Amino acid sequence: MGQKWITLENILVEKLILWGIGLGRDTTGKKVLISWGAIPESVVDIRVLKNRSNRIEGQILRVVKRSPLEARLPEHFQVYGGCRWLPIPHEKQLEIKEQQMREVFTHHPEMVEGVAWHPIVASPEVYGYRNKVEFSWWKYISAREGVHDDYRFGFHESGQFDRIVNCTYCVLGDEVVNDIFTAFNAFARENRIPTYDVKTGVGFWRHLVIRRSKKTGETMVVVSVNINYLGDDQQVEFRKALKKFIGMIPVITSGYLLHNTGKADIVQGFFEHIAGTKTITEKLFDLEFEISPKSFFQTNTLWAEELYRVTGEMIRTKNPVVFDLYAGTGTIGMVLANRAREVYSVEIVPEASEDNMRNLTKNNIKNVTVINAPVEKLLEEWKKEGKTPDVIVIDPPRVGMHPDAPGILRDFNPEEIIYVSCNPATLVRDIALIAPNGEYRITDITPVDMFPHTHHIEAVVRMERAS
């Protein structure tokens, strides 16, 4: 029996708003928000998911009329959840992102009065830019759909968390990443051990993570498996075969076998070092960073350089004392260190702070202090101690700052605040909390094209003390 859905037909996608959601209108003029892969100027039929008083939310069922903007992609390109904007020409993507950045200030026009809007900074590479790609092995068995597929290896389908599409070519990884993926695909198929089933927790192959330094070419693979699926003798045999296989791919300089026995579909567990070096080295400008399998590192190396260049250029205070808040592995603080008197680098994740300290030593940087603590707690302590930063750089996660943090931050009265944002919505919310009565005014906004072919937008915003 066919599924009964409420549908809406012939909806024109007028534009894309934040998160890549398409905006259209029904015949009464009510807003229609269209998720998963809308392309501006296309006409689509949608399946209605929610009908609210002020808007309808739905998913595309079929494309009735293709958008004149839609690019013809080379045959070997595939569109997954992670590169959904591929059919939109890159120039148009940049235009959309710039537009979206301006639109988030629609309800706060006073914030952007007299602001210098700088052009969006494009990623230096449009394809093959990712220094880390994560593939998944999967099964897909569905009696309802009549599908029984024991082996899939690739990426999650757009908007589907329980389904993997076989990858043949990853546009966001470079040729080496694709070659390694292809080799592992053949290796896993030949070796006949079953893929892991997330529903039952039975099976072996789970994820392949490939990390490749853009600057040095050093390449790490992490083979994530449910090791307990094999008996002790089989484990010994498998390890031997895997080492031999990795040894035949000279471009791989570091190899790990991840004992991933947890049920959650994430890359975690015990990392057993099995080949080459334990870390790979990446570079930003003339700084070197050691990357271990657990380290966080910006996934677009060349783009990260652009982001940090823009961040540095925004700072006008000479020889400042800088708070680098939400520091991750401390890359922003390290890049700023040679023009600052002192940098205080604050991060909540212990492993990231440890990486930060190791990289400071490696690069012989002496004027950065690393503190592993929640920003909101530490700022309270520093306020009592009477610390006086000249510049505060904040780079919070997508959810933005903890609600206690903006007010305390303002109390430090720094000359400048530089907000590096990966979520325009929380950016505007936090700015309103930092300067509810115009204590700081925005002087500059530079959108940065973080990941081409995705809806993500990064922006660097400079604020200065109003008086």
Q: Which amino acid, 49?
A: L
Q: Which residue, 351 or 415, is less far from ligand SAM as judged by CB? A: 351
- Give, as ranges, the residues between 411 and 430 that touch ligand SAM (CB under 6 A): 422
Nearest of 82, 176, 140 to residue 450 by alpha carbon: 82
* Strand-pair partners of 283: 288
Q: Residue 143: count other Cβ atoms within 10 Å of its Cβ.
A: 7
**Active-site hit among 83, 167, 170, 422:** 422
- Residue 47 found at the interface with ligand SAM (CB under 6 A): no
The residues, any chain, with a CB within 8 Å of residue 28's CB and separated by 6 or more, are none
Which runs of E-coded beta strand occur in 69-176?
A: 116-117, 132-142, 147-156, 164-166
C-alpha distance from residue 208 to each of 159, 220, 262, 294 (Å): 21, 10, 16, 14
| Residue 258: CB minimum distance to ligand SAM, A | 21
Q: Which amino acid, 331?
A: T
Q: Do 258 and 269 meet the contact criterion of CB atoms below 8 Å apart?
A: yes
Residue selected from 94, 180, 335, 352 as contacting ligand SAM according to rule CB under 6 A: 352
Q: Which residue, 249 or 349, is less far from ligand SAM as judged by CB? A: 349
| Residue 327: CB minimum distance to ligand SAM, A | 5
| Residue 16: CB minimum distance to ligand SAM, A | 23
- Residue 402 found at the interface with ligand SAM (CB under 6 A): yes
Task: Name the strand (E) or helix (H) holding 100.
Answer: helix 90-103
- Residue 348 found at the interface with ligand SAM (CB under 6 A): yes
Interatomic CA distance for residues 81 and 60, integer angstroms: 14
Q: Are strands 440-448 and 368-372 parallel, antiparallel or unpaired?
A: unpaired
Q: Closest-CB residue for ligand SAM? A: 328
| Residue 402: CB minimum distance to ligand SAM, A | 5
Question: Is 422 an annotated catalytic residue?
Answer: yes
- Residue 282 found at the interface with ligand SAM (CB under 6 A): no
Q: Which residue, 77 or 412, is less far from ligand SAM as judged by CB? A: 412
Which part of the chain contacts ligand SAM (CB under 6 A), choosing from 6-14, 100-108, 228-236, 371-379? Answer: 371-379
Total of chain residues touching ligand SAM, rule CB under 6 A: 19
The residues, any chain, with a CB within 8 Å of residue 170's CB and separated by 6 or more, are 133, 135, 155, 177, 178, 181
Q: Can you count the helices (H) and strands (E) in the chain? A: 9, 23
| Residue 58: CB minimum distance to ligand SAM, A | 31
Which part of the chain contacts ligand SAM (CB under 6 A), choosing from 105-113, 283-291, 392-400, 431-439? Answer: 392-400
The residues, any chain, with a CB within 8 Å of residue 142's CB and separated by 6 or more, are none
Query: Residue 194: helix, strand or coil by DSSP?
Result: coil
The mark string for 74-113 relative to ligand SAM (x by CB under 6 A, - otherwise) is ----------------------------------------
Query: Residue 416: helix, strand or coil by DSSP?
Result: strand
Which part of the chain contacts ligand SAM (CB under 6 A), choosing from 216-224, 252-260, 370-378, 438-446? Answer: 370-378
Q: Which residue, 197 or 404, is less far from ligand SAM as judged by CB? A: 404
- Residue 391 found at the interface with ligand SAM (CB under 6 A): no
Residue selected from 188, 337, 375, 461 as contacting ligand SAM according to rule CB under 6 A: 375
- Give, as ranges, the residues between 175 and 194 that touch ligand SAM (CB under 6 A): none
C-alpha distance from residue 23 to each of 105, 159, 426 (Å): 18, 18, 21
- Give, as ranges, the residues between 286 and 345 that touch ligand SAM (CB under 6 A): 298, 326-328, 331-332
Note the residues at the interface with ligand SAM (CB under 6 A): 298, 326-328, 331-332, 346-349, 352, 374-376, 395-397, 402, 422
